Amino acid sequence: MTKSIISTDKAPAAIGTYSQAVKVGTTVYLSGQIPLVPETMQMVSDDFTEQTHQVFKNLVSVCQAAGGEIQNMVKVNIFLTDLSNFATVNEVMSQYFNEPYPARAAIGVAQLPKDSQIEIDGILELPSTN
């Protein structure tokens, strides 16, 4: 098995012992993204909608660094500190994905890194052996 580490400065740097993503064959495993602005490593804002957009922007950057697009994601895991924000997630997600949508899970959690309100990770399947 050959694995490649995916890294880009267009997404937040890892804040722990992990990589932004790991590619094995045509499958890319994306680490969780929180709403940090890559240039400052600070939260984009306290507004949930803005946080959600920033997370998706970060995911887009990592997908592109891996040689794919966010539309190539086949599985998305969404972690929320308040499940009442689920409708907002659906609205924002529809701006980044077209049908067919990826498989998805939404999980309520007590707390996320840096007191983020949302974190998303997932799996990307590249269309070729890039």
Cis peptide before 100 (omega within 30 of 0): yes
| Whether pLDDT at 129 is above 70 | no
Question: What are the tens digits of pLDDT across the range 23-67?
Answer: 999 999 999 999 999 999 999 999 999 999 999 999 999 999 999
Mean pLDDT rounded to a whole number for the chain: 96
| Helices and strands per DSSP (H, E), number in the chain | 2, 8
Sheet holding 21-24, edge to edge: 3-6, 21-24, 27-33, 118-125, 73-80, 103-108
Q: Which of the pair, 30 or 130, is modelled with greater confidence?
A: 30
Q: Is the pTM of this model over 0.85?
A: yes
Domains, the chain, ranges and CATH? 3-125 (3.30.1330.40)
Compute the distance between CA of residue 73 and CA of residue 47 in angstroms, rounded to an integer: 26
- pLDDT exceeding 90 applies to what percent of the chain? 93
